[in-house]
Amino acid sequence: MFCYLSLRSSVIILLCLVLSFKVELQAQRTADLMQQGLSKLDKGNFKEAIEDFTKVIYAADENQADALLNRGLCYVQLGQLENAIADFSRAIDIAPDYPAAYFNRGLARLQKGELKAAHRDFTITIDLAPEDAEAYFQRGITRYQLGELSAALSDFNTAIQRDVKFIPAYYHRGIVYLALFRYAAAVDDFSHVLKEDAANGMAYALRGKAKGRLGKYEEALQDLNIALILVPDLAEAFVYRGAVIAALGNFQEAAENFKAARELGFNASELRLEEIRLLWLQQKVDTALSALDSLLLSEPNYIDALFLRASMHSMKKNWQLAEVDLNRCIQLNSHHWQAYELLSQVALAQNKISEAIENLNKAIKLNTSDPELYYKRAQIYRHNGDTKKACLDLRKSKELGKNIPPEELLPICGSH
Protein backbone atom coordinates (compact mmCIF):
# COMPACT_ATOMS: atom_id res chain seq x y z
CA MET A 1 0.00 0.00 0.00
CA PHE A 2 1.40 3.39 -0.97
CA CYS A 3 0.85 6.65 0.91
CA TYR A 4 0.70 9.90 -0.97
CA LEU A 5 1.33 13.35 0.61
CA SER A 6 -0.49 16.38 -0.62
CA LEU A 7 1.54 19.35 -1.78
CA ARG A 8 0.34 21.32 1.27
CA SER A 9 1.54 18.56 3.63
CA SER A 10 4.92 18.50 1.93
CA VAL A 11 5.34 22.24 2.36
CA ILE A 12 4.44 22.05 6.07
CA ILE A 13 7.00 19.29 6.67
CA LEU A 14 9.64 21.27 4.80
CA LEU A 15 8.90 24.35 6.88
CA CYS A 16 9.12 22.30 10.09
CA LEU A 17 12.48 20.93 9.01
CA VAL A 18 13.76 24.42 8.23
CA LEU A 19 12.51 25.75 11.57
CA SER A 20 14.02 22.80 13.40
CA PHE A 21 17.32 23.41 11.65
CA LYS A 22 17.21 27.10 12.63
CA VAL A 23 16.45 26.23 16.25
CA GLU A 24 19.32 23.75 16.34
CA LEU A 25 21.61 26.30 14.70
CA GLN A 26 20.59 28.98 17.23
CA ALA A 27 21.10 26.57 20.12
CA GLN A 28 24.57 25.74 18.82
CA ARG A 29 25.40 29.43 18.44
CA THR A 30 24.34 30.24 22.01
CA ALA A 31 26.22 27.20 23.31
CA ASP A 32 29.33 28.42 21.46
CA LEU A 33 28.85 31.94 22.87
CA MET A 34 28.48 30.51 26.36
CA GLN A 35 31.75 28.60 26.02
CA GLN A 36 33.50 31.68 24.62
CA GLY A 37 32.22 33.72 27.53
CA LEU A 38 33.35 31.15 30.07
CA SER A 39 36.80 31.01 28.49
CA LYS A 40 37.09 34.81 28.63
CA LEU A 41 35.83 34.82 32.23
CA ASP A 42 38.52 32.30 33.21
CA LYS A 43 41.17 34.43 31.53
CA GLY A 44 40.00 37.60 33.28
CA ASN A 45 38.64 39.25 30.12
CA PHE A 46 35.49 40.30 31.95
CA LYS A 47 34.18 43.01 29.61
CA GLU A 48 34.47 40.77 26.55
CA ALA A 49 32.86 37.92 28.46
CA ILE A 50 29.94 40.20 29.36
CA GLU A 51 29.30 40.79 25.64
CA ASP A 52 29.09 37.04 24.98
CA PHE A 53 26.85 36.32 27.97
CA THR A 54 24.57 39.24 27.01
CA LYS A 55 24.01 37.69 23.57
CA VAL A 56 23.12 34.39 25.20
CA ILE A 57 20.70 36.17 27.55
CA TYR A 58 18.93 37.85 24.61
CA ALA A 59 18.56 34.45 22.95
CA ALA A 60 16.29 33.52 25.89
CA ASP A 61 16.93 29.78 25.67
CA GLU A 62 17.67 27.20 28.36
CA ASN A 63 21.10 28.80 28.95
CA GLN A 64 19.64 32.15 30.05
CA ALA A 65 19.89 31.59 33.82
CA ASP A 66 23.47 30.31 33.52
CA ALA A 67 24.40 33.27 31.32
CA LEU A 68 22.93 35.69 33.88
CA LEU A 69 24.88 33.99 36.64
CA ASN A 70 28.14 34.21 34.70
CA ARG A 71 27.56 37.80 33.63
CA GLY A 72 26.90 38.60 37.28
CA LEU A 73 30.26 37.03 38.19
CA CYS A 74 31.94 39.33 35.64
CA TYR A 75 30.24 42.35 37.15
CA VAL A 76 31.49 41.32 40.61
CA GLN A 77 35.05 41.18 39.29
CA LEU A 78 34.61 44.65 37.82
CA GLY A 79 33.28 45.98 41.13
CA GLN A 80 29.80 46.58 39.69
CA LEU A 81 27.93 44.95 42.57
CA GLU A 82 24.50 46.42 41.82
CA ASN A 83 24.59 45.03 38.27
CA ALA A 84 25.78 41.69 39.64
CA ILE A 85 22.96 41.49 42.19
CA ALA A 86 20.43 42.38 39.46
CA ASP A 87 21.72 39.53 37.25
CA PHE A 88 21.73 36.99 40.09
CA SER A 89 18.17 38.05 40.96
CA ARG A 90 17.02 37.61 37.34
CA ALA A 91 18.64 34.17 37.29
CA ILE A 92 16.66 33.30 40.43
CA ASP A 93 13.44 34.54 38.82
CA ILE A 94 14.04 32.17 35.92
CA ALA A 95 15.32 29.26 38.04
CA PRO A 96 14.05 29.60 41.64
CA ASP A 97 15.92 26.47 42.78
CA TYR A 98 19.34 27.66 41.54
CA PRO A 99 21.66 27.49 44.59
CA ALA A 100 24.64 29.08 42.81
CA ALA A 101 22.59 32.21 42.07
CA TYR A 102 21.55 32.61 45.70
CA PHE A 103 25.10 31.93 46.88
CA ASN A 104 26.72 34.49 44.60
CA ARG A 105 24.05 37.07 45.34
CA GLY A 106 24.84 36.47 49.01
CA LEU A 107 28.54 37.07 48.35
CA ALA A 108 27.81 40.31 46.51
CA ARG A 109 25.52 41.49 49.28
CA LEU A 110 28.11 40.56 51.90
CA GLN A 111 30.69 42.59 49.99
CA LYS A 112 28.27 45.54 49.99
CA GLY A 113 27.74 45.19 53.73
CA GLU A 114 24.10 44.09 53.36
CA LEU A 115 24.55 41.47 56.06
CA LYS A 116 20.96 40.45 56.74
CA ALA A 117 20.16 40.07 53.04
CA ALA A 118 23.37 38.07 52.54
CA HIS A 119 22.42 35.87 55.50
CA ARG A 120 19.05 35.10 53.87
CA ASP A 121 20.71 34.15 50.58
CA PHE A 122 23.23 31.82 52.23
CA THR A 123 20.45 30.20 54.25
CA ILE A 124 18.44 29.50 51.07
CA THR A 125 21.62 28.12 49.47
CA ILE A 126 22.02 25.74 52.41
CA ASP A 127 18.37 24.68 52.14
CA LEU A 128 18.89 23.88 48.44
CA ALA A 129 22.39 22.39 48.81
CA PRO A 130 22.82 21.19 52.42
CA GLU A 131 26.20 19.56 51.72
CA ASP A 132 27.78 22.79 50.47
CA ALA A 133 30.56 23.58 52.96
CA GLU A 134 31.26 26.95 51.34
CA ALA A 135 27.70 28.13 51.98
CA TYR A 136 28.00 27.34 55.68
CA PHE A 137 31.37 29.07 55.74
CA GLN A 138 30.09 32.27 54.16
CA ARG A 139 27.04 32.34 56.41
CA GLY A 140 29.46 31.93 59.33
CA ILE A 141 31.41 34.97 58.11
CA THR A 142 28.14 36.91 57.87
CA ARG A 143 26.99 35.85 61.33
CA TYR A 144 30.34 36.82 62.82
CA GLN A 145 30.02 40.30 61.31
CA LEU A 146 26.48 40.48 62.70
CA GLY A 147 27.89 39.71 66.16
CA GLU A 148 26.16 36.30 66.30
CA LEU A 149 29.19 34.44 67.63
CA SER A 150 27.54 31.16 68.66
CA ALA A 151 25.72 30.90 65.33
CA ALA A 152 28.94 31.68 63.46
CA LEU A 153 30.76 28.99 65.42
CA SER A 154 28.03 26.48 64.54
CA ASP A 155 28.36 27.27 60.83
CA PHE A 156 32.16 26.95 60.85
CA ASN A 157 31.80 23.63 62.68
CA THR A 158 29.40 22.38 60.01
CA ALA A 159 31.64 23.61 57.19
CA ILE A 160 34.51 21.62 58.69
CA GLN A 161 32.28 18.56 59.10
CA ARG A 162 31.38 18.81 55.42
CA ASP A 163 35.02 19.30 54.41
CA VAL A 164 37.71 18.48 56.98
CA LYS A 165 40.36 20.10 54.74
CA PHE A 166 38.58 23.46 54.62
CA ILE A 167 41.46 25.54 56.04
CA PRO A 168 39.73 28.96 55.91
CA ALA A 169 36.98 27.53 58.14
CA TYR A 170 39.56 26.58 60.80
CA TYR A 171 41.13 30.05 60.53
CA HIS A 172 37.86 31.91 60.99
CA ARG A 173 36.68 29.52 63.70
CA GLY A 174 39.89 30.39 65.54
CA ILE A 175 38.94 34.07 65.30
CA VAL A 176 35.51 33.28 66.76
CA TYR A 177 37.13 31.32 69.58
CA LEU A 178 39.26 34.38 70.36
CA ALA A 179 36.11 36.50 70.51
CA LEU A 180 34.55 33.92 72.83
CA PHE A 181 37.67 33.94 75.06
CA ARG A 182 38.25 30.24 74.31
CA TYR A 183 41.95 30.69 73.81
CA ALA A 184 43.05 27.04 73.92
CA ALA A 185 40.56 26.17 71.18
CA ALA A 186 41.80 29.14 69.14
CA VAL A 187 45.39 27.89 69.48
CA ASP A 188 44.32 24.46 68.19
CA ASP A 189 42.62 25.94 65.12
CA PHE A 190 45.49 28.26 64.20
CA SER A 191 47.89 25.34 64.67
CA HIS A 192 45.80 23.33 62.21
CA VAL A 193 46.00 26.21 59.71
CA LEU A 194 49.77 26.43 60.10
CA LYS A 195 50.22 22.72 59.42
CA GLU A 196 48.79 23.34 55.95
CA ASP A 197 50.02 26.91 55.43
CA ALA A 198 53.31 27.41 57.26
CA ALA A 199 53.84 30.85 55.67
CA ASN A 200 50.64 32.35 57.08
CA GLY A 201 51.99 35.24 59.13
CA MET A 202 48.59 36.32 60.43
CA ALA A 203 47.86 32.82 61.72
CA TYR A 204 51.13 32.93 63.69
CA ALA A 205 50.19 36.38 65.02
CA LEU A 206 46.72 35.27 66.12
CA ARG A 207 48.06 32.08 67.69
CA GLY A 208 50.62 34.23 69.52
CA LYS A 209 47.82 36.47 70.76
CA ALA A 210 45.84 33.46 72.03
CA LYS A 211 48.91 31.99 73.75
CA GLY A 212 49.58 35.34 75.37
CA ARG A 213 46.05 35.38 76.78
CA LEU A 214 46.72 31.90 78.18
CA GLY A 215 49.83 33.19 79.93
CA LYS A 216 52.17 31.16 77.70
CA TYR A 217 54.33 34.17 77.07
CA GLU A 218 57.47 32.54 75.73
CA GLU A 219 55.51 30.46 73.22
CA ALA A 220 53.54 33.56 72.29
CA LEU A 221 56.73 35.50 71.61
CA GLN A 222 58.04 32.71 69.38
CA ASP A 223 54.90 32.85 67.25
CA LEU A 224 54.88 36.64 67.06
CA ASN A 225 58.55 36.78 66.11
CA ILE A 226 57.91 34.27 63.30
CA ALA A 227 54.91 36.32 62.16
CA LEU A 228 57.12 39.40 61.82
CA ILE A 229 59.81 37.46 59.98
CA LEU A 230 57.17 36.29 57.49
CA VAL A 231 55.41 39.66 57.27
CA PRO A 232 57.73 42.42 58.55
CA ASP A 233 55.05 45.12 58.30
CA LEU A 234 52.30 43.16 60.08
CA ALA A 235 51.13 45.84 62.50
CA GLU A 236 48.88 43.49 64.47
CA ALA A 237 51.88 41.32 65.33
CA PHE A 238 53.65 44.35 66.83
CA VAL A 239 50.56 45.10 68.92
CA TYR A 240 50.23 41.53 70.19
CA ARG A 241 53.97 41.23 70.82
CA GLY A 242 53.93 44.50 72.71
CA ALA A 243 51.11 43.19 74.91
CA VAL A 244 53.06 40.01 75.72
CA ILE A 245 56.26 41.91 76.43
CA ALA A 246 54.35 44.29 78.70
CA ALA A 247 52.93 41.33 80.62
CA LEU A 248 56.52 40.13 81.10
CA GLY A 249 57.39 43.50 82.64
CA ASN A 250 59.54 44.97 79.87
CA PHE A 251 57.60 48.19 79.51
CA GLN A 252 60.07 50.10 77.35
CA GLU A 253 60.26 47.36 74.73
CA ALA A 254 56.47 47.02 74.80
CA ALA A 255 56.12 50.74 74.08
CA GLU A 256 58.56 50.40 71.17
CA ASN A 257 56.39 47.68 69.65
CA PHE A 258 53.28 49.81 69.98
CA LYS A 259 55.14 52.71 68.37
CA ALA A 260 56.16 50.45 65.46
CA ALA A 261 52.52 49.48 64.93
CA ARG A 262 51.45 53.12 64.94
CA GLU A 263 54.20 54.06 62.45
CA LEU A 264 52.78 51.40 60.12
CA GLY A 265 49.52 53.31 60.14
CA PHE A 266 47.73 51.01 62.59
CA ASN A 267 45.41 53.28 64.55
CA ALA A 268 42.79 50.74 65.64
CA SER A 269 41.29 50.98 69.09
CA GLU A 270 43.02 47.70 69.96
CA LEU A 271 46.38 49.47 69.89
CA ARG A 272 45.07 52.29 72.08
CA LEU A 273 43.71 49.74 74.54
CA GLU A 274 47.06 47.96 74.82
CA GLU A 275 48.80 51.29 75.42
CA ILE A 276 46.31 51.95 78.22
CA ARG A 277 46.92 48.47 79.63
CA LEU A 278 50.64 49.30 79.67
CA LEU A 279 49.89 52.34 81.83
CA TRP A 280 47.97 50.11 84.20
CA LEU A 281 50.82 47.60 84.43
CA GLN A 282 53.11 50.52 85.25
CA GLN A 283 50.78 51.28 88.21
CA LYS A 284 49.55 54.49 86.55
CA VAL A 285 46.00 53.47 87.35
CA ASP A 286 44.36 56.91 87.47
CA THR A 287 45.94 57.92 84.16
CA ALA A 288 44.85 54.61 82.62
CA LEU A 289 41.31 55.03 83.95
CA SER A 290 41.06 58.51 82.49
CA ALA A 291 42.27 57.23 79.11
CA LEU A 292 39.77 54.37 79.25
CA ASP A 293 36.93 56.74 80.00
CA SER A 294 37.89 58.75 76.93
CA LEU A 295 38.12 55.63 74.75
CA LEU A 296 34.73 54.38 75.92
CA LEU A 297 33.11 57.75 75.22
CA SER A 298 33.88 57.19 71.53
CA GLU A 299 33.31 53.41 71.62
CA PRO A 300 30.81 52.68 74.43
CA ASN A 301 30.36 49.03 73.41
CA TYR A 302 34.07 48.14 73.30
CA ILE A 303 33.96 45.01 75.45
CA ASP A 304 37.70 44.64 76.07
CA ALA A 305 37.89 48.25 77.24
CA LEU A 306 34.90 47.75 79.55
CA PHE A 307 36.51 44.65 81.02
CA LEU A 308 39.83 46.39 81.57
CA ARG A 309 38.09 49.31 83.28
CA ALA A 310 36.17 46.86 85.46
CA SER A 311 39.48 45.25 86.44
CA MET A 312 40.87 48.65 87.42
CA HIS A 313 37.76 49.54 89.41
CA SER A 314 38.07 46.20 91.17
CA MET A 315 41.71 46.91 91.96
CA LYS A 316 40.66 50.23 93.51
CA LYS A 317 37.80 48.47 95.37
CA ASN A 318 35.17 50.44 93.49
CA TRP A 319 32.91 47.39 93.54
CA GLN A 320 29.74 48.96 92.18
CA LEU A 321 31.53 50.58 89.23
CA ALA A 322 33.22 47.25 88.48
CA GLU A 323 29.86 45.46 88.54
CA VAL A 324 28.33 47.98 86.13
CA ASP A 325 31.09 47.45 83.56
CA LEU A 326 31.10 43.68 83.97
CA ASN A 327 27.35 43.39 83.57
CA ARG A 328 27.62 45.51 80.44
CA CYS A 329 30.28 43.14 79.10
CA ILE A 330 27.93 40.20 79.64
CA GLN A 331 25.04 42.09 78.07
CA LEU A 332 27.16 42.65 74.95
CA ASN A 333 28.61 39.13 74.91
CA SER A 334 26.84 36.48 76.97
CA HIS A 335 29.83 34.12 76.50
CA HIS A 336 32.20 36.38 78.43
CA TRP A 337 33.25 33.85 81.07
CA GLN A 338 36.03 36.14 82.31
CA ALA A 339 33.43 38.75 83.22
CA TYR A 340 31.57 36.15 85.30
CA GLU A 341 34.87 35.14 86.92
CA LEU A 342 35.68 38.73 87.90
CA LEU A 343 32.09 39.27 89.08
CA SER A 344 32.64 36.30 91.37
CA GLN A 345 35.77 37.90 92.81
CA VAL A 346 33.94 41.21 93.31
CA ALA A 347 31.08 39.42 95.09
CA LEU A 348 33.53 37.47 97.26
CA ALA A 349 35.30 40.69 98.26
CA GLN A 350 31.93 41.91 99.54
CA ASN A 351 31.31 38.59 101.33
CA LYS A 352 28.48 37.69 98.95
CA ILE A 353 29.29 33.98 98.96
CA SER A 354 26.23 32.65 97.13
CA GLU A 355 26.61 35.27 94.41
CA ALA A 356 30.31 34.46 94.06
CA ILE A 357 29.56 30.75 93.57
CA GLU A 358 26.73 31.49 91.15
CA ASN A 359 28.99 33.59 88.94
CA LEU A 360 31.75 30.99 89.00
CA ASN A 361 29.17 28.37 88.01
CA LYS A 362 28.32 30.48 84.96
CA ALA A 363 31.98 30.95 84.11
CA ILE A 364 32.61 27.20 84.32
CA LYS A 365 29.57 26.44 82.17
CA LEU A 366 31.05 28.65 79.47
CA ASN A 367 34.62 27.41 79.91
CA THR A 368 34.63 23.85 81.20
CA SER A 369 38.34 23.21 80.61
CA ASP A 370 39.94 25.93 82.75
CA PRO A 371 41.48 24.37 85.90
CA GLU A 372 41.74 27.76 87.65
CA LEU A 373 37.97 28.23 87.68
CA TYR A 374 37.42 24.91 89.49
CA TYR A 375 40.27 25.72 91.87
CA LYS A 376 38.77 29.11 92.77
CA ARG A 377 35.36 27.58 93.35
CA ALA A 378 36.97 24.90 95.54
CA GLN A 379 38.47 27.63 97.72
CA ILE A 380 35.05 29.20 98.22
CA TYR A 381 33.46 25.84 99.04
CA ARG A 382 36.24 25.09 101.51
CA HIS A 383 35.88 28.50 103.14
CA ASN A 384 32.13 27.86 103.34
CA GLY A 385 32.66 24.46 105.00
CA ASP A 386 31.50 22.34 102.07
CA THR A 387 34.53 20.03 101.86
CA LYS A 388 32.82 17.46 99.63
CA LYS A 389 32.23 19.96 96.81
CA ALA A 390 35.64 21.50 97.44
CA CYS A 391 37.23 18.09 96.98
CA LEU A 392 35.37 17.44 93.72
CA ASP A 393 36.52 20.78 92.31
CA LEU A 394 40.12 20.30 93.44
CA ARG A 395 40.25 16.89 91.79
CA LYS A 396 38.73 18.32 88.60
CA SER A 397 41.26 21.15 88.64
CA LYS A 398 44.12 18.65 89.06
CA GLU A 399 42.69 16.47 86.29
CA LEU A 400 42.73 19.49 83.96
CA GLY A 401 46.39 20.12 84.68
CA LYS A 402 46.73 22.33 87.75
CA ASN A 403 49.60 21.35 90.03
CA ILE A 404 47.98 20.81 93.44
CA PRO A 405 50.40 19.42 96.05
CA PRO A 406 49.25 16.43 98.16
CA GLU A 407 49.44 18.47 101.39
CA GLU A 408 46.69 20.73 100.00
CA LEU A 409 44.57 17.95 98.56
CA LEU A 410 44.70 15.34 101.32
CA PRO A 411 43.24 17.37 104.22
CA ILE A 412 40.15 18.08 102.10
CA CYS A 413 39.77 14.90 100.08
CA GLY A 414 41.22 12.37 102.49
CA SER A 415 37.80 11.29 103.77
CA HIS A 416 36.04 11.38 100.35
Q: Do residues 95 and 66 lie in contact, with contact meaning Cβ atoms separated by under 8 Å?
A: no
Indicate the range of 3-7, 81-85, 376-380, 382-386 predicted with least confidence: 3-7
Q: Write down the mean pLDDT value for the chain.
A: 90
Q: What is the pLDDT of residue 278?
A: 96
Q: What is the pLDDT of residue 42?
A: 87
Angle at 222 between CA 264 and CA 257, to 5 degrees: 30
DSSP 366: H
Q: Is the pLDDT of residue 62 over 80?
A: no
Q: How far apart are CA 22 and CA 363, in angstroms?
A: 73
Q: How far apart are CA 395 and CA 378, in angstroms?
A: 9
The widest CA-to-CA distance across the chain, in whole angstroms, is 114
pLDDT tens for 327-356 read 999 999 999 999 999 999 999 999 999 999
Instruction: Calculate mean pLDDT across residues 106-113.
Output: 96
Q: How far apart are CA 182 and CA 191, in angstroms?
A: 14
CA distances, 357 to each of 235, 328, 329, 352, 373 (Å): 41, 20, 19, 9, 11
How far does the chain reach from its first CA to its final CA, in angstroms? 107
Angle at 295 between CA 294 and CA 300, to 5 degrees: 105
178 CB neighbour count, 10 Å cutoff: 20
Query: What topology is assigned to 181-264 in CATH?
Result: 1.25.40
Sign of torsion, CA 333 338 341 347?
Answer: negative
pLDDT tens for 221-263 read 999 999 999 999 999 999 999 999 999 999 999 999 999 999 9
Closest CA to 184 of 215, 205, 152: 215
Strands (E), 127-268: none
Of all residues in the chain, what percent carry a pLDDT higher than 70?
93
CA distances, 89 to each of 76, 125, 137, 159, 390 (Å): 14, 14, 22, 26, 61
Give CA torsion, residues 203, 168, 307, 113, to 10 deg.
130
Q: How far apart are CA 414 and CA 31, in angstroms?
A: 82
137 CB neighbour count, 10 Å cutoff: 23
pLDDT tens for 149-203 read 999 999 999 999 999 999 999 999 999 999 999 999 999 999 999 999 999 999 9
